[in-house]
Amino acid sequence: AQRVTQPEKLLSVFKGAPVELKCNYSYSGSPELFWYVQYSRQRLQLLLRHISRESIKGFTADLNKGETSFHLKKPFAQEEDSAMYYCALSRLTDSWGKLQFGAGTQVVVTP
C-alpha cells in the first residue's frame, strides 16, 4: 500500500530564510504528487502538483523517484506562508481524487 511521510510536524523559520518541507512516499508504481495548503481560517486548497512543474507563490517541488521524495521549497519565506501543508499522493491507475495524505507540517514564519 502507498504511504506518505512528512517527518516534521512543525517547522519554524524566520522571514527571509529558506524553507523546505520534506515529503517521502512509498509506492511501487507511478504516482502523482501534490502539495495542499491550509491557511488560517481558510479551506484546504491545492498549492501545486508535480505534473504541472510550476512555481506557485514562490514554492517549487521536484519529484525525485530515486529517493521517492517530493520536497517543497521556497528560497525566502514570507509571513503569509504560515500555514499547514499536506503532501498527497494519487495512483495514476486509480481515481486521481483518492489521495493518500501525509500527516501535515505546520509552518510558522516569524518576522
Contact yes or no for 62/105 (Cβ under 8 A): no
Q: Which is nearer to another protein, 17 or 44 (CB)?
A: 44
Burial of 60 (0-12, 13-18, 19+ CB in 10 A): middle
Interacting residue ranges for another protein, rule: CB under 8 A = 4, 6, 9, 32, 36, 43-46, 49, 51-52, 86, 88, 95-99, 101-104
Q: How far is the CB of 28 from another protein (least distance, A)?
A: 18
Q: How far is the CB of 52 from another protein (least distance, A)?
A: 8
Question: Cα separation of 3 and 81, whole Å?
Answer: 26
